[in-house]
Amino acid sequence: MSSQILSLDRTDIKILDILQNDGRISNIKLAEEVNLSPTAVLARVQKLSKDGFILGYEAKLNAAMLNSNFVVFVEILLDKTTPNVLDEFCEAVMQYPEIVECHMTSGGFDFVVKIRCASMEEFRKISGQVLWQLPGIKETRSYPVMEVIKESAKLNLKVKKSR
């Protein structure tokens, strides 16, 4: 376990777990859930935010209702992985809202990106107008998603019991 997580007690972890499941929970309800006063819980949440454990709050939107239900994962190989090419690529990726995730990887490809759009037709446009315009692109492989089985941004915060 990292030293960062060791600085959290069971109550902090419970607060984080509750907040990642319901970021809109009232402070009073959160206090009831962790058996602390509202003032104590507010102080802990503020400290967890200040210390960087809580990065922010956002609503989970219904992609199907917002015409962004088509998901494609794309493996990207750059022509070279020098620091300036990597920096240019990463900076360019940040400019495109269609690219919802970008991960540097090891292995056969340098990056894997997740793209959300309306359809295969729209993805074909994104592929030509966005992906192939990114700096340093040598090769891509695309994997359209047929069905989402599990998708979550929640972290597993179970406290491991010491032996």
What CATH number has the domain bearing residue 136? 3.30.70.920
Is residue 79 domain-shared with residue 127, that is, in the same domain? yes
Among 64, 58, 69, CA closest to 116: 69
Q: Could you give the residue ranges of the DSSP H alpha helices within 7-130?
A: 10-21, 27-34, 38-50, 83-93, 120-129
Q: What is the pLDDT of residue 163?
A: 41
Helix (H, G, I), strand (E, B) or coil at 77: strand
Check whether residue 46 and residue 74 sit in a common domain.
no
Regarding whether 74 and 44 lie in a shared domain, the answer is: no
**What's the whole-model pTM score?**
0.85
CA distance 129 to 99: 13
Tell whether 161 is covered by a domain.
Answer: no
Residue 85 shares a structural domain with residue 136: yes
Residue matched to tokens 């939107």: 61
What does the chain come to in residues?
Answer: 163
Q: Please name the amino acid found at residue 78.
A: L
Residues facing 21 on adjacent strands: none
Shared domain for 140 and 83, answered yes or no, is yes
Residues 77 and 43 in one domain: no
At 162 the pLDDT is 47
Nearest to 87 by CA among 63, 110, 120: 110
Q: How far apart are CA 76 and CA 113, in angstroms?
A: 8
Within-domain flag for 55: no
Q: Which domain holds residue 29?
A: 3-50
Question: CB-based burial of residue 138 (10 Å sphere; 0-12 exposed, 13-18 middle, 19+ buried)?
Answer: exposed
Show the tokens assigned to 40.
Answer: 């104590």
Task: Please report, in tens digits, the pLDDT of each residue of the chain (163 residues total).
Answer: 555 556 899 999 999 999 999 999 999 999 999 999 999 999 999 999 999 999 999 999 999 999 999 999 999 999 999 999 999 999 999 999 999 999 999 999 999 999 999 999 999 999 999 999 999 999 999 999 999 999 999 999 876 554 4
pLDDT of residue 74: 98
pLDDT at 3: 53
pLDDT value for 2: 53
For the chain, the domain total comes to 2
Cα–Cα dist 162/88, whole Å: 45
